[in-house]
């Protein structure tokens, strides 16, 4: 179990061309070949306030939350699952507890394709951390040399939420991190060789995210065209931000970006329906197919307000949803990699437990297929090292793949 910085009332639909209508963090990983391990990231210890600093505008008697750098940074904590309901703190020996930071979001994924999970932590106002596995239960920070610690100007950002996926279809994992307003959200494109490039300017999300304080973040294919899109939940930390910056607001709307190919995104929020137009103090964001109809829906949690369930009713192409059952590996297949080949393209997914900000996506893996009518091959690489291959996978179905047995169940999407 890893802790960073340790120390539904409204329903909405999404219809028409793109319409959504109003209808610290935890993560898990399998750090061993056959042992299930849990990594939660989240609540800080009791904050240390330096000399009880007054934060805000004293002249106007307007208090505000103190900047994160007012507080002493805290270490991340890792708990090893020993089985039988017990855990052991292995923070020190793993090396993960050696670094202190202001961790908020965490995502665990194999960014360097060595078949072992690595840990990315989004830090608030200090450099991000990428814990790379160097041996059994040993990690070191590789964020600076990988290119994900800071932005291109060398400055740390106010990292909040994060997610990892292959948005450009090159078979390498990429990272997204939400930040403070006037910073732009950070998109890091994987280059291979344990390197990333800062891709915010080339991607088209920079200017559109500039006015927002982002928290929840998710890569997902909302229109089933086979390309991963982006959604963000936003909301200021301050409940009186306008007193400190003209035009700033506590409640903010969500953002939806459609992947247009060629490593670019288009802001389609204005066409995504009233669910995305709602202004709330957004925090958590998770994606999943709640009605088993083959398209991904969203759940947004808001600070001090009701949650928003955004049901996706927009038109989309064919799709496939894959559920994994581990036998030698952990039961849910956390850490498994799936490669689906269809219509001349191969899509990559990795089963993650915990990402975004205080969120957990559907563990089933969703693949949009567009107008494709056939999925030629599904390959599942399990944490145990076993590889299962399924040929001619039925599309427009939820299918179940059991480790060592292959396809064991198929159910057509709900109409």
**Six-digit token string for 137:** 């239960």
More confident of the two residues 50 and 165: 165
> How do residues 7-50 score in pLDDT, each as one tens digit?
533 344 444 444 443 445 656 676 654 343 434 344 444 444 44
> How do residues 220-229 score in pLDDT, each as one tens digit?
999 999 999 9
**Would residue 285 be called left, alpha or beta, if left means φ above 0 and alpha means ψ between -120 and 50 degrees?**
beta
More confident of the two residues 124 and 54: 124
Mean pLDDT of the chain: 89
> How do residues 167-179 score in pLDDT, each as one tens digit?
999 999 999 999 9
Share of the chain above pLDDT 70, in %: 88
Chain centroid offset of residue 108 CA: 9
- pLDDT at position 16 is 42
Taking residue 331's Cβ as centre, other Cβ atoms within 10 Å add up to 11
pTM: 0.90
Evaluated on CA atoms 48, 51, 57, 61, the torsion sign reads positive
Query: Strands 77-83, 86-89: parallel, antiparallel or unpaired by DSSP?
Result: antiparallel
> How do residues 125-140 score in pLDDT, each as one tens digit?
999 999 999 999 999 9
């Amino acid at each position: 179990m890893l802790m960073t910085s340790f120390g539904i009332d409204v329903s909405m639909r999404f219809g028409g061309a793109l319409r959504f209508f109003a209808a610290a963090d935890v993560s898990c990983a399998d750090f061993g070949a056959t042992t299930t391990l849990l990594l939660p990231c989240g609540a800080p210890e009791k904050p240390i306030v330096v000399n009880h600093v007054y934060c805000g505008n004293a002249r106007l008697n307007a208090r505000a939350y103190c900047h994160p750098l007012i507080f002493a940074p805290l270490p991340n904590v890792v708990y090893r699952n020993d089985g039988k309901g017990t855990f052991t703190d292995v923070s020190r020996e793993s090396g993960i507890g050696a670094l202190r930071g202001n961790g908020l979001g965490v995502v665990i994924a194999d960014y360097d394709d060595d078949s072992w999970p690595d840990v990315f932590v989004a830090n608030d106002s200090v450099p991000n951390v990428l814990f790379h596995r160097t041996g059994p239960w040993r990690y070191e920070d590789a964020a600076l040399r990988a290119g994900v610690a800071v932005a291109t100007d060398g400055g740390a950002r106010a990292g909040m939420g994060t997610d990892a996926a292959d948005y450009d279809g090159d078979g390498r994992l990429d990272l997204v991190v939400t930040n403070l307003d006037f910073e732009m959200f950070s998109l890091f494109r994987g280059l291979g060789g344990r390197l990333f490039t800062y891709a915010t300017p080339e991607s088209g999300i920079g200017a559109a995210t500039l006015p927002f304080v982002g928290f929840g973040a998710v890569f997902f294919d909302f229109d089933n065209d086979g390309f991963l899109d982006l959604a963000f939940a936003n909301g200021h930390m301050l409940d009186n931000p306008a007193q400190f910056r003209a035009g700033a607001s506590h409640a903010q709307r969500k953002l939806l970006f459609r992947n247009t190919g060629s490593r670019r995104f288009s802001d389609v929020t204005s066409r995504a329906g009233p669910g995305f137009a709602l202004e709330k103090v957004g925090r958590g964001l998770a994606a999943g197919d709640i009605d088993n109809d083959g398209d991904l829906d969203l759940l947004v949690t808001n600070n001090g307000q009701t949650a928003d369930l955004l049901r996706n009713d927009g038109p989309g192409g064919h799709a496939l949803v894959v559920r994994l059952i581990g036998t030698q590996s952990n039961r849910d297949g956390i850490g498994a990699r799936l490669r689906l080949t269809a219509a001349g393209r191969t899509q990559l997914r990795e089963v993650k437990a915990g990402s975004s900000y205080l969120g957990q996506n559907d563990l089933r893996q969703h693949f949009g297929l567009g107008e494709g009518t056939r999925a030629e091959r599904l390959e599942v690489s399990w944490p145990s090292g076993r590889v299962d291959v399924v040929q001619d996978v039925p599309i427009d179905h939820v299918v179940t793949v059991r480790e060592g047995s292959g396809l064991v169940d198929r159910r057509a999407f709900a109409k």
